[in-house]
Chains A and B, each alone.
Chain A
Amino acid sequence: MTSVGSADFIRILPELVLSGFALLVMMLEPVTPAGKKTVLGWVSVVGVILAGLAAAAIAFFPGSAFSASISNDGYSVYLIELLLLIALLTLLGSMAYLERDAIDHGEYYALILMATAGGAFMVASTELIMVFIGLEISSISTYILAGYKRGELQSNESSVKYFLLGSFATAFFLYGIAFVYGLTGTTNLDVIRETLVNSPSSANPQLLWLAVILMFVGLAFKVSTAPFQIWTPDVYQGAPAPVTAYLSTAPKAAAFAVLVRLLIGSFGHVASAGPLIFWLLWISAVLTMCLGNLAALWQSNVKRLLAYSSIAHAGYILVGVTAGGAEGTSSVLFYLGGYALMNVGAFILVAHLAGADERRTDVEDFTGLAADRPGMAACLTVFMLSLAGFPSTVGFFAKFYVFRAAMHAHLTGLTVIALLNSVVSVYYYLRLVVAMYMGEGKTQVNEASIPRALGFAIAVSLIGIFFLGLFPSGLLSDLTSLHVPWL
């Protein structure tokens, strides 16, 4: 019988702070007068910053908590900080948007905090029960967020599709867990690895393969990799744009963290599952990159275009996961960070530029933007160039490290396919840039100048993009030297 001590609670301090502030926001919501709900946004921002400080503090208390169901290591601390950064940028980018579209209720902020708490539990957990609960906390909150514009058809649809396919995926993930439990008698990832590695003969390989495939399918839905990406364009297009900023980064980062812990950390060490995992990842990576990039070429809606682009990026990240090992893992972590900066920035800026009720989201609506709003056009250009992977932006080094890891793992074919794909992707990113700078402005572009909080969020992501684009080695060497026992 293990007892629960204060050390256990210290090691989940960021999650506790987030949950506490989420409850606080919910309690303050009824007593906050209408039209003043932005205050709750700032309360949430304080909560996220405090949680960030807590996460920095718990880095000094490494170890496991709650009977080895939470592991507080460098890996989880980095990912928690990343999730908090995404939450912070989303909150700052949402406040003016919510007021403009008259959906400024306090629940929005509370749901973002809860989704982030769930994601933090996911990335820190070494126990499949805990992974499942974190996944559901984060998923259920984001189902509501996707449908936050209750009266709007597209937002509704986005929410329904996300909910149905998300729950469908969860069922697969759970069934995989059930078989792993049947094979090993435990749901703890470390014990699973030891059991399978030490007595490989005890596990029936076919059942093990089935379990791995089921869990992979479940997670592949969550990170939207082919052939399980069908829901992504509709959900990302229909959801309110700041919510899409969050959806396309935070749950994805958390699910990739679980994928790496599971497939590289636990089952990757099992000899009989190795080739299966390799080919699953390899095929899925190729399909995801090709489908995402080819479909993005034909899109006329900017949100949909960015949705397909995020599918393609999931493919590049999978290349890093396929490479595996310490180098592959650190390149994946670096990519998740860089991708979060540029994608959140792009979506919250598009949310502002789309105007009231997001009426202007077509590429055509951005024609001639540079003449009207040179500053915003320049920011959006930087985001696009970074997503395309131009040098001196973080997008370049993110891709470079992933491809280098793949080359070192002797995945030449995969690297070549990935390189060709990233060349193709330049076309559709530049199409938006060309429209902004070359076209004649047909429509009056934007009514208001940029709100201060949104401007701050965009500035933070731009600074991040250029800083990591010019000095990437510091973060990468930190990520390479994370002390994780399971690699």
Chain B
Amino acid sequence: MIPLSHILLLSVILFTLGAAGFIIRRNVITVFMCIELMLNAVNLAFIAFSRRLPSLDGQLFVFFVIVVAAAEAAVGLAIIVALYRNRNSLAIDDVDSMKM
């Protein structure tokens, strides 16, 4: 059996990669994918804890996270499509019509 600490380490690495990508990446779609990566890191942590404890709550939580992430993706992609229609660009740096 894989020790809990290994799975958690993987989860932390994935979460950090996602968070770093969110800050560094300059394309809206990629940034969105980084958020999905972070959510999957969360799911991995829930599953690992759930298996270790043992308790089923963590696995239930993962289902909710997946469902909500799907809903969020639907709305998010629609928003991004609207942005693209108005701007013909998906670069984050172009999203700057409001400045101090």
Q: Is A66 an interface residue (CB 8 A)?
A: no
Interface size on B, residues (CB 8 A): 41
Minimum C-beta distance from A236 to chain B (A): 10
Do B28 and A164 have beta carbons less than 8 Å apart?
Answer: yes
Contact yes or no, B32 A164, CB < 8 A: yes
Q: Which A residues lie within 8 Å of B61 (CB)?
A: 129, 132, 177-178, 181, 187
Q: Which residues of A contact B72 (CB under 8 A)?
A: 136, 140, 167
**The residue from B15, B49, B65, B82 contacting A181, defined by CB atoms under 8 A apart:** B49
Residues of chain B within 8 A (CB-CB) of A178 are 42, 45-46, 49, 58, 61
User: Are A186 and B57 in touch, CB under 8 angstroms?
Assistant: yes
**Is A157 in contact with chain B by the CB < 8 A criterion?**
yes
User: Which residues of the partner chain A approach B41 to less than 8 Å between Cβ atoms?
Assistant: 175
- Closest chain A residue, CB of each to CB of B71: A140
Hey, which chain A residues are within 8 Å of B31, CB to CB?
A: 164
A298-B100 CB under 8 A given contacts A163-B75, A178-B46, A178-B49: yes
The complex places the Cα of A143 from the Cα of B80 at a distance, in Å, of 11
Cβ of A234 under 8 Å from chain B: yes
| Complex-state Cα separation, A187 to B53, whole angstroms | 13
Is the C-beta of A168 less than 8 angstroms from some C-beta in chain B? yes
- A174 in contact with B79 (CB, 8 Å): no
Number of interface residues of A (CB under 8 A): 41
Known: A153-B86, A175-B42, A178-B49. A160 touches B28 (CB 8 A): yes
Say how far A248's CB is from chain B's closest CB, in angstroms. Answer: 16
The answer for the CA separation of A148 and B80 in the assembled complex, in Å, is 13
Q: Are B42 and A182 in contact (CB under 8 A)?
A: no
The reply to whether A168 and B22 contact each other, CB–CB distance below 8 Å, is yes
Q: Is the CB of A174 within 8 A of B83?
A: no
Residues on the B chain within 8 Å of A485, using CB? none
For residue B79, which residues in chain A have a CB less than 8 angstroms away from its CB?
A: 143-144, 147, 156, 159-160, 163
What are the residues of chain A within 8 A of B28 when measuring CB–CB? 160, 164
> What are the interface flags for B21-38 relative to A under an 8 Å C-beta threshold, 1 for contact and 0 otherwise?
010000010011001001
Digitize A267-310: 1 where CB-to-B-CB distance is under 8 Å, 0 elsewhere: 00000000000000000000000000001001100001000000
**Chain A residue nearest to B99 in the complex (CB):** A234
- Contact for B18 among A163, A171, A179, CB less than 8 A: A171
Tell me the complex Cα distance, A140–B28, Å: 18
Which A residues are in CB contact (< 8 Å) with B50?
181
| A187-B62 Cα distance, complex, nearest whole Å | 13
Of A151, A168, A298, A299, most buried by chain B (CB within 10 Å of CB) is A168
Q: Is A185 an interface residue (CB 8 A)?
A: yes
Q: Which B residues lie within 8 Å of A175 (CB)? A: 15, 38, 41-42, 45
Collect the chain B residues with CB atoms within 8 Å of residue A299's CB. Answer: 100
| Chain A residue at minimal CB-CB distance from B61 | A129
Q: With the chains together, A157 CA to B94 CA distance in Å?
A: 10
**Smallest CB-CB separation from A234: which chain B residue?**
B98
CB neighbors of B among A139-197 (8 A): 140, 143-144, 147, 150-154, 156-157, 159-161, 163-164, 167-168, 171, 174-175, 177-179, 181-182, 185-187
Contact of A179 with B75 in the complex, beta carbons under 8 Å: no
A171-B98 CB under 8 A given contacts A153-B87, A164-B31: no
Is A181 a contact of B75 with CB atoms below 8 Å?
no
Residue A237 at the B interface, CB < 8 A?
A: yes
Please give me the residue from chain B that is nearest to A237 by CB atom.
B98
Nearest-CB distance from B88 to chain A (Å)?
A: 12
Would you give the shortest CB distance from B97 to chain A, in whole angstroms? 5
Q: List 7 A-B contacts (CB under 8 A).
A: A143-B76, A156-B82, A157-B95, A167-B32, A171-B19, A178-B49, A186-B57
